[in-house]
Structure 1
Amino acid sequence: MISSTFPYPPIQGKTQMRTFSLLTYLNKRHDLTLVTQFPEQIIEEDINSLRQQIENCIIFPSVSREANSSGFLNKAKQLGVFFQQGTPPRFLSHYSLKIQECLDQAIDSGEFDLLTCEGSSNEIYVRPQWREKLPTLINIHRSVWGTYKHQTETQATESGLRNQINLPLLRRYEKQYCGKFLSVVTTSKTEQKLLKDLKLETPVTFIPNGLDLSKFPKRTVNQGGQRIVFIGAMDKPGNIDAARFFSLEVFPKLRKRYPEATLELVGIRPAPEVKELGQIPRITVTGQVPSVIEYLHWATVCVIPIRNSTGTKIRSLQTLATGTPLVASDYGLEGLPIDGTGVPLSAMRANGVDEYVYAIGRLFEQPKLREKLSINGRALIEKEYTWERTGERYEQLLIHLTS
């Protein structure tokens, strides 16, 4: 398993969390070797902790610590490389010759039965001819082309012109590198569809992220009151937009019906645009908190009013796991079977202002509806979205590739 992102501690981000969870699951059942890099800020304790979990670790220093007299990195960062070779400079900038030499030797010696890349940034190490020697799989944690495509279509960033220039190059790049593998895995159905639209010869499988349920216990009390919480990293553009939309457009209208309602914006690194929302009566901006679990357990309703992001949200999974009634947008609920014919209602769906007011109002007033969502939400996560279930799906695919 190749992961240029050091996967420990698994609380640093979704990439680390997914990689570490799959590592530990597969390592219990198979002879697994991890090839990874440690970043400059890593501490020795984290390296030792990873080795305790995964015995066969080959860990290289980050590129910035490697002597590189060839000037390769400087050349790689030039946009001309992107046009000619198709690989984005930011991936080339992390390229390690030492990792490449290690992998070349291992594959040539026939040491391994299967190779996986955890994240598209690792595809740079995989040579096309390796397909003939052993099954190769890429687990795309996030589609580069899909991300830029969404940002361009929704004008989610100020780099619109640059994104438009890069978009066809990224499309070509993603199609090209996927062709090196026997199997492609995505974490969302949206990205699965995007990659299938590239007319790949390689099959694309959707395997969602999961949760460690021991860290997200279901709350024991059906909280009444009128307490709303929105949890997320409050420096991310999507969360900033969501916080301001809900605070400035939804919450004032909600308070006209429910004057005692409160809103807590919980998350690390709140941007200035989020901090100023704390000046609005009955809105609190907490910044980093010791435990988001407590805020979910105390809340009457959790909202995820995301308007411009793709992929299954870990925060949605966490909310459902704790049994907290959830009201979220289509983006916030992407890929989750929470409603529809024959599907137990596990969350309320809302996109416009009036839809949020209606859904939250129902949950404020109807304890039985809150309890229904609480029970169904937890059951959904227990059945489909644990890391154990994700690991099972991943393992089944790997076994199929080697059979």
Structure 2
Amino acid sequence: MQELLYLVHRIPYPPDKGDKIRSYHLLKHLSQHYRIHLGTFIDDEKDWSYVGKVKDFCDETCFVNLSPKAARLRSLGGLFFRQPLTLPYYRDKGLQAWVNSVLETRSVRNILIFSSGMAQYVSHAGPARRIIDFVDIDSDKWMQYATTKSWPMNWIYRRESRLLLSYEKQVTREFDGAAFVSEAEANLFKRLAPEVATKVTYFNNGVDADYFSPKNIYPNPYTAGTDTLVFTGAMDYWANVDAVDWFARGVLSAIRAHLPDVEFHIVGARPTARVMALATLPGVTVTGSVPDIRPYLAHASLAVAPLRIARGIQNKVLEAMAMEKIVIASPQAMEGLCALPGKELLVANDEDDFAHQIVTLLQSKSHRTMGHAARARVLEDYSWEKGLTRVDALLSQPQIISTDEACPHALQNHFKSARDVA
């Protein structure tokens, strides 16, 4: 087997949140074809218990503890060196020494970098083929954050967006290829960086449709006979926090004015104080970490994805669709998805639209066939096997795979980047 260096900004296990789901499936797939040298950070003490699981996929590993508080302080050094703060956040001398040793003593022909912050470790990697999976356009995400904040944070976020975009362009120029999580994300980056467009491609996230199957029997975690709306996701992620706060404080009250027994369950690990405060509102439950989100999806009346800030593909939407749930999503949560609005899921634009569509659905019990169509879409376009074949081609072929296979169902050109409207 050939040897491959794989650098990931966060341990790729357990696959319980967006980036870990993608990085884990990449690791699992690559381990079937390469001897993996994995370097990664661990930023949650609980994740040290999964080191053995990750080692099973690898020939050699380097795990580095990352304290988020210390990393944030370290990142401030970027302010004095005209660097994006992302780079010092993920900079570690020990990991750099390990990477250097691997490149000097092993026959590494391929390097796969997961997220922009890890590219700094292989800026001088010799003849090895270097591919980066940016996943999302992080620079545009910071610009979205900037539009929601006041000074000085909006200045810091705009600075990070500007410098990180410059760095993303630099990495793409220097590397052999750059991938994103969806065709829409790849095409947006091509517009932002036309000078490197020929090196840009994508591969979709997938869903384990056997695991997220409506045919399995799940215990009901809700009060019997209630109509329940569910949101799933890591509840320390700012975009998710913003989404549930906006929905619970604005949309839910309008729904309960018509249907007073409707409940909203926020299901996900590490809820922040802002999220926990929502549990004091009528009809809102915050579960915190649960051993299995599938019962919460299976027995929910509807799944909601009211994100106002989003990049890439939302796994929460795909998982609910795989479970044959009707999903009501914001346009931002829909971006990049290959799904037909009105047939395979629903899109709501504002508070009134969310409330109206949800009340109509719950009162009429209609559109039940939409769940079947949603799962069919996942089975057709969102298998890991299908997406990861593009990774194999990226690592083995000198040409980058075209992104011209436009999905006829995606709202690919419906959205502008935050940079276009800021």
Range of TM-score over shorter length: 0.7 to 0.9
- Residue 335 (structure 1) shift: 1.1
Query: Which residue in the other structure is 1:258 paired with?
Result: 259
Native 8 Å contact 2:131 2:176 kept in 1: yes
Contact residue 81 and residue 89 of structure 1 kept, 8 A: no
Q: What root-mean-square deviation, in Å, do the aligned CA atoms of Structure 1 and Structure 2 show?
A: 3.3
CA distance in structure 1 between the aligned counterparts of 2:274 and 2:335, rounded to whole angstroms: 26
Residues 277-309 of structure 1: CA deviation (Å, up to 9, x unaligned): 333333323233332211111111111111122
Q: Secondary structure at the match of 1:62?
A: strand
Aligned residues of 1:38 and 1:59 also touching (Cα < 8 A): no
Alpha-carbon distance in 2 for matches of 1:85, 1:300: 43
- Deviation per CA, 1:69-118, whole angstroms, max 9, x where unpaired? xxxxx999733663279983223346633223224315xx7x24432212
CA distance in 2, matches of 1:236, 1:104: 34
- Superposed, 1:109-148 pairs within 5 Å as 111-127=107-123, 130=126, 133-148=127-142
- Note the residue ranges of structure 1 that are not aligned, 5 or more in a row: 66-73
The alignment covers a number of residue pairs equal to: 382
DSSP-derived class of the 1:104 partner: helix
1:96 matched to which residue of 2?
95
What SS does the aligned partner of 1:166 have? helix
Name which one, 1 or 2, has greater alpha-carbon Rg: 1
User: Is residue 393 of structure 2 the alignment partner of residue 396 of structure 1?
Assistant: yes
State the Cα distance separating 1:158 from its structure 2 match. 6.5
Alignment partners' CA distance in 2, 1:53 and 1:150: 36
Provide the residue aligned with 2:189 in structure 1: 195
Amino acid at match of 2:267: V
**Cα distance in structure 2, aligned partners of 1:176 and 1:235:** 31
The answer (yes or no) to whether the contact 1:249–1:353 under 8 Å persists in 2 is yes
Alignment map for 1:208-287 (pairs within 5 Å)? 208-219=204-215, 226-287=227-288
Structure 2 residues not aligned, in runs of 5+: 68-72, 218-223, 401-422
1:297-312 mapped onto 2 (5 Å cutoff): 297-312=298-313
Tell me, yes or no, if structure 1 residue 31 matches structure 2 residue 23.
no
Partner of 1:380: 377
- 1:11 and 2:15 equivalent? yes
Question: Which is worse superposed, 191-200 or 322-331?
Answer: 191-200
Which piece of structure 1 moves more, 244-253 or 158-167?
Answer: 158-167
Residue number among 356, 364, 373 corresponding to 1:358 in the alignment: 356
Deviations 1:7-30 (A, max 9, x none): 4423354333222211222332x2
3-state SS of the aligned residue for 2:325? coil
Whole-Å separation in 2 of the counterparts to 1:292 and 1:129: 41
Change (3 A) 1:37 1:225: closer
8 Å contact kept, 2:12–2:23: no
Do the aligned partners of 2:131 and 2:394 also contact (CA within 8 Å) in 1? no
Q: Structure 2: how far apart are the matches of 1:156 and 1:353?
A: 23
SS at match of 2:285: strand
Identity %: 23
SS in 2 for 1:200: helix
Matches of 1:118 and 1:321, distance apart in 2: 26
TM-score (norm 1): 0.82
**CA displacement at 1:119 relative to structure 2:** 2.1
Structure 2 Cα separation of the partners of residues 240 and 207 of structure 1: 27
TM-score (norm 2): 0.79
* Change over 3 Å in CA distance of 1:112–1:270 after alignment to 2: closer
Letter in 2 for 1:321: A
Distance 1:181-1:83 versus aligned 2 partners, 3 A rule:
same
Contact 1:231 1:266 (C-alpha < 8 Å) held by counterparts:
yes
State the shift of 1:231 in Å.
Answer: 2.1
Deviation for aligned residue 1:6: 5.4
